[in-house]
Amino acid sequence: MNDDILSLPAPKADARLAYGRDANQFLDLRIAHGKGLHSAAVCLHGGYWRAKYDLEYMGHLCAALTAQGVTTANVEYRRVGNAGGGWPGSFADVRSAYQYVVQNAGRYGIDAKRVMAVGHSAGGQLALCLAAHEEVRAAVSLAGVVDLQRAYELQLSNDAVAEFLGGTPKEVADHYREADPMRLAIKPRQYLLHGLKDQDVPPELSQNYARAKTNEDVHLTMIERAAHFELVDPRSGAWRDVEKIMMEATALRH
C-alpha cells in the first residue's frame, strides 16, 4: 500500500466548525448515528508539523470510526509556515479544539467523559501531549513521532523537529522539555501502533517510548507488514488491528 490516500478524496464530513478565528483553526465533525451519547475521537493529522500537509487524508480514518459509532473531530491547526504555527502555537490549537469538542458535547450527542485523542505521525506527538494536559479517555499514537530527542538526532524529514520547536535542544531546551512526550507525565492509557516497514517515522521511536514509560499505562503494538500510511488507511491489511485497538480505547471506563 502506498501513500495514495493523501490524494484520495475522503467521505464528506457532517460539518466544518471553527474553534478559533484563524483560517486554520477548524475541525471537520462526523457524527455517529444511533440513540444515546457517543464516544468521540479528536483526530490529529501528521506531516511533520508543516503547513504543506493538511487534515484531508485523516478523513478516511474518521469516516471509518464514525461508521463504528464514534463521533470524530478531524482537527486542522496552525503549522510551521502558518503565522503562529510551530511550538507552542500548534499545540495551543489542539488544546482549543479538544476543549471546543468537550464544551459542545451535548449539542452533538457526545459523551464528554469518553473523548480520546488520536494522532498519526507528528499528530501522535500532539495527541500524547494533549493527554498530558487534558482529561482525555485515552490517547492513540499511530506511527507517532513520540521521541523528539531521537527524532532530532536522526534529523528526520530535514530537521523537522528543530524547525517545529524553533531550534536545537541546547537553543530551546524548554521547548523540548515541554513538547517531547518522553519527558511528560501522562496519566491516561496510551496505545502506540507502529508498522515495522515504516520508512517515514522509524519504528524505534515507539519502541523507545514503550521501554522508557514502564511507570505509565502504555500498550505497544508493532504491525509486521505495515508501512507509514497503512495505519490510517481503512483499505489496508493493518486496519483491522488499528480499528480493534481504537474501539477498545473508546470503550474504556473509569
**Whole-number mean pLDDT of the chain?**
96
**Position 183 pLDDT exceeds 90:** yes
Among left, alpha and beta (phi > 0; psi -120 to 50; other), residue 252 is beta
Q: At what angle do helices 89-103 and 122-133 cross, to 10 degrees?
A: 60
**Position 252 pLDDT exceeds 80:** no
Radius of gyration of the chain (CA): 16
Residue 4's pLDDT is what?
Answer: 86
- Which tens digits make up the pLDDT trace of 113-159? 999 999 999 999 999 999 999 999 999 999 999 999 999 999 999 99
Question: Whole domain around residue 160: which residue ranges?
Answer: 4-250
Determine what percent of the chain is predicted with pLDDT higher than 70: 98
CB 172 within 8 Å of CB 111: no
**Position 66 pLDDT exceeds 70:** yes
- How far apart, in whole angstroms, are the C-alpha atoms of residue 65 and residue 136? 17
Residue 52's pLDDT is what?
Answer: 95
Q: pTM for this one?
A: 0.97
- Which tens digits make up the pLDDT trace of 195-232? 999 999 999 999 999 999 999 999 999 999 899 999 99
Strands 110-120 and 189-195: unpaired
State mean pLDDT over 30-41: 94
**Position 253 pLDDT exceeds 70:** no
CB 118 within 8 Å of CB 140: yes
C-alpha torsion sign, points 211, 92, 139, 74 = negative
Residue 250's pLDDT is what?
Answer: 86
CB 229 within 8 Å of CB 6: yes
Q: Domain count of the chain?
A: 1
Coil, helix or strand at residue 229? helix
CB 47 within 8 Å of CB 79: yes
Question: What CATH number corresponds to the domain at position 157?
Answer: 3.40.50.1820
State mean pLDDT over 45-60: 97
State mean pLDDT over 22-30: 98
